[in-house]
Amino acid sequence: MSNKVLIVDDAAFMRMMIKEILSKNGFNVVGEASDGSQAVEQYKELKPDLVTMDITMPEMDGITALKEIKKIDASAKVIMCSAMGQQAMVIDAIQAGAKDFIVKPFQADRVLEAIKKTLG
Ligand SMILES: [Mg+2]
């Protein structure tokens, strides 16, 4: 059975890019969310094996969403997607339980490496 992934990013083209990398490599993208509160709702509904989580989003940001998801499922596997210059937020996210992070612009190899390592 292929691993279920939820992609969270407010930019549609970013979601599309990650989805393409994952789909090509045998992962099952079960959902997409464009802000943190949608991500939390979809997490409850879809119970994905892994979440890719953007940091900067309207309504609820990725770090808040990560914390909410961790409250629901302490073993949730979340990888943060950060932009250059967001190191401080990445550290916050890792302390809040994120497994790894990938930096935009994404390189397919790095995305896959982070995901495979996180899924074990
Ligand atoms: Mg964003």
pLDDT tens digits, 31-59? 999 999 999 999 999 999 999 999 999 99
Peptide bond into 48 cis (omega under 30): no
User: Does residue 70 lie within any of the structural domains?
Assistant: yes
Count of structural domains within the chain: 1
Q: Domain residues for 45? A: 4-111
What pLDDT shows up at residue 84? Answer: 85
**pTM of the full predicted structure?**
0.96
What distance in angstroms lies between residue 27's CA and the mean position of ligand 1's atoms? 22
Q: What is the mean pLDDT of the chain?
A: 96
Domain harbouring 27, CATH code: 3.40.50.2300
CA distances to 7, 80, 82, 95 from 92, rounded to whole Å, are: 20, 11, 12, 5
pLDDT classification of 26: cutoffs 50, 70, 90: very high
What distance in angstroms lies between residue 93's CA and the mean position of ligand 1's atoms? 15
Residue where the block lists tokens 């609820």: 60
What distance in angstroms lies between residue 7's CA and the mean position of ligand 1's atoms? 12
What distance in angstroms lies between residue 38's CA and the mean position of ligand 1's atoms? 14
User: Does residue 27 lie within any of the structural domains?
Assistant: yes
Distance separating alpha carbons of residues 69 and 81, to the nearest angstrom:
16
pLDDT classification of 29: cutoffs 50, 70, 90: very high
User: Does residue 29 lie within any of the structural domains?
Assistant: yes
User: Does residue 45 lie within any of the structural domains?
Assistant: yes
User: Does residue 11 lie within any of the structural domains?
Assistant: yes
What distance in angstroms lies between residue 33's CA and the mean position of ligand 1's atoms? 11
What distance in angstroms lies between residue 1's CA and the mean position of ligand 1's atoms? 30
Q: Which of 53, 71, 77, 73 is nearest to 63 (CA)?
A: 53
pLDDT tens digits, 68-80? 999 999 999 999 9
What pLDDT shows up at residue 1? Answer: 64
User: Does residue 118 lie within any of the structural domains?
Assistant: no
What distance in angstroms lies between residue 91's CA and the mean position of ligand 1's atoms? 17
What distance in angstroms lies between residue 119's CA and the mean position of ligand 1's atoms? 24
